[in-house]
Amino acid sequence: MSHLVSPSIESLLPYEGGKPVEELARELGISDAIKLASNENPLGPSPKALAAARAVLNDVHRYPDANAFKLRERLAAEHGVPMADIIQGNGSNELLDLAVRTFCTSEHHIVFAEPAFVVYRIAALAHGVPFTAVPVRDLTHDLEAMLAAITPRTRLVFVGNPNNPTGTYVSLDALSRFLRAVPPEVIVLIDEAYIEYASAADFPDCLKLRGERERLIVCRTFSKIHGLAGLRVGYGVSTAELVGYMNRVRAPFNVGNLGQVAAIAALDDVEHVRQSHQLNLSERERVSAALTRLGLSVTPSQANFYLVDMKQSGRAIYDALLQKGVIVRPFASLPNSVRVTVGKPVENDRFLKALGEVLS
**Mean residue pLDDT across the chain:** 93
Whole-number Cα distances in Å, 114 to 36, 189, 315:
23, 16, 19
What number of other Cβ atoms are within 10 A of residue 13's Cβ? 9
Global pTM reads 0.92
- The domains found in the chain, sorted by start residue, are 2-44+271-359 (3.90.1150.10), 47-268 (3.40.640.10)
Cβ-Cβ contacts under 8 Å for 27 (sequence gap 6 or more): none
pLDDT tens digits along 223-234: 999 999 999 999
Percent of the chain with pLDDT over 70: 96
Of 17-21, 42-46, 319-323, minimum mean pLDDT range: 17-21
pLDDT beyond 80 at 27: no
pLDDT tens digits along 283-312: 999 999 999 999 999 999 999 999 999 999
Whole-angstrom distance, CA of residue 299 vs CA of residue 351: 17
Percent of the chain with pLDDT over 90: 89
Of 160, 176, 206, 207, which Cα lies nearest the Cα of 301? 160
pLDDT tens digits along 83-117: 999 999 999 999 999 999 999 999 999 999 999 99
